[in-house]
A and B are shown apart, each in its own frame.
Chain A
Amino acid sequence: MAEHLGYVVAGYVATAVALGGYVLSLRRRLRRARDRAAAMAARGARTAT
């Protein structure tokens, strides 16, 4: 059954990649949304003055 170790490694690597990749994608989304919100707030402030 030792030859089946590849399936176990593939499963654990896939889990780590999926969870880690999702965290990274959320952080990227958060950064982009924060930048957009700041840019719009700055534009709004410029328009008001």
Chain B
Amino acid sequence: MSAAERAMGRIVARPGERALGWAAAAALAASAVLSLAVAPPDAQQGQVQRLMYVHVPTAWLAYLAFAVVFVASIAYLRTKRSRWDRLAAASAELGVLFTALTILLGSLWARPVWGTWWTWDPRLTTTAVLLLIYLGYLAVRRLTDSPPRRARWAAVVGIVGFIDVPIVHLSVQWWRSLHQGPTVARLGGPTIAPVMLATLLVAVAAFTLAYLYLLALRLRVGRVEERTVAEALSPRIGRPAEDLLDDAAGAPVEPAPRGR
């Protein structure tokens, strides 16, 4: 078992998951207080700029979630261990949630500032494409009943689809865009006020904790659902359910053909 797998095991263990849940809830509450009551309104945009403290963290988490899908997909293709496929599937679902939230929050911010809910700007368009790619990833996972085939197809989409993440990030520099350019991660240092930067960093940390908690919970769902499939297949294959879980037996299991 690799160090990465051991670290993942510690995070998804029940006590770790519960502690993460409470830490995420406390951090999100602290972030909301800082964002809504402590940070000053923007000199030009006023109160509506406070949407930055949720819009930017959700966008960052979408990137992180899809980066995890990318790494887990490569790990699955190398090792054929289903735990990597479960991790990729869990992170993709979260990535879709955070990308959809990013688009919704961006739209709410754009209406008063740009005067429109949506425009075919490079950043917005590439982000919409990103959402479609990972909705496609989740759809591919439903195309076949065979777990190894499903994991293999999904891993390929998870690796190829990640190409859009740097395109989304760099779109504001590559093309003329209505969306603002980088203000934090840029050469020459951040251009926002220190109190706003501190509030944003707290929000990013809080949402990252929330991502880790949701990931741990989603992984547990994946493990239990896999066990359900193993329990269903066990009498048809004539092997104990424990043997059918590839983490225990070391090899993925093809389901028996359906009798019609």
Interface residues of A (CB under 8 A from B): 1-2, 4-5, 7-8, 10-12, 14-15, 18-19, 22-23, 26-27, 29-30, 33-34, 36-37, 40-41, 44, 47
Contact = CB atoms under 8 A, between A and B. Distances in A.
Given A4-B48, A11-B55, A22 B228 contact: no
24 contacts: A1-B47, A1-B48, A7-B48, A7-B109, A8-B51, A11-B54, A11-B104, A11-B108, A12-B36, A18-B97, A18-B100, A26-B214, A29-B225, A30-B217, A33-B221, A33-B224, A33-B227, A37-B228, A40-B228, A40-B234, A41-B241, A44-B234, A44-B241, A47-B235
B221 A23 contact: no
A25 to B, nearest CB: 10
A41 B231 contact: yes
- Among the interface residues B101, B231, B232, which one has the most CB atoms of the partner chain A within 10 A? B231
A22 B224 contact: no
Contacts of A34: 224
A44 B47 contact: no
Contacts of A22: 97, 214
Interface residues of B, number: 37
Contacts of A33: 221, 224-225, 227-228
B167 interface: no
User: Which A-B residue pairs are the 8 nearest by beta carbons?
Assistant: A1-B46, A40-B231, A4-B48, A33-B224, A37-B228, A4-B112, A33-B225, A11-B51
Given A14-B101, A15-B105, A27-B217, 9 more contacts: A2-B46, A4-B48, A7-B112, A10-B108, A12-B32, A23-B214, A33-B224, A40-B234, A41-B241
B149 interface: no
A22 B101 CA distance: 12
Contacts of A18: 97, 100-101
A4 to B, nearest CB: 4
B210 A19 contact: yes
B234 A15 contact: no
A44 B32 CA distance: 50
Which of B32, B108, B111, B235 has the largest count of A CB atoms less than 10 A from its CB? B108
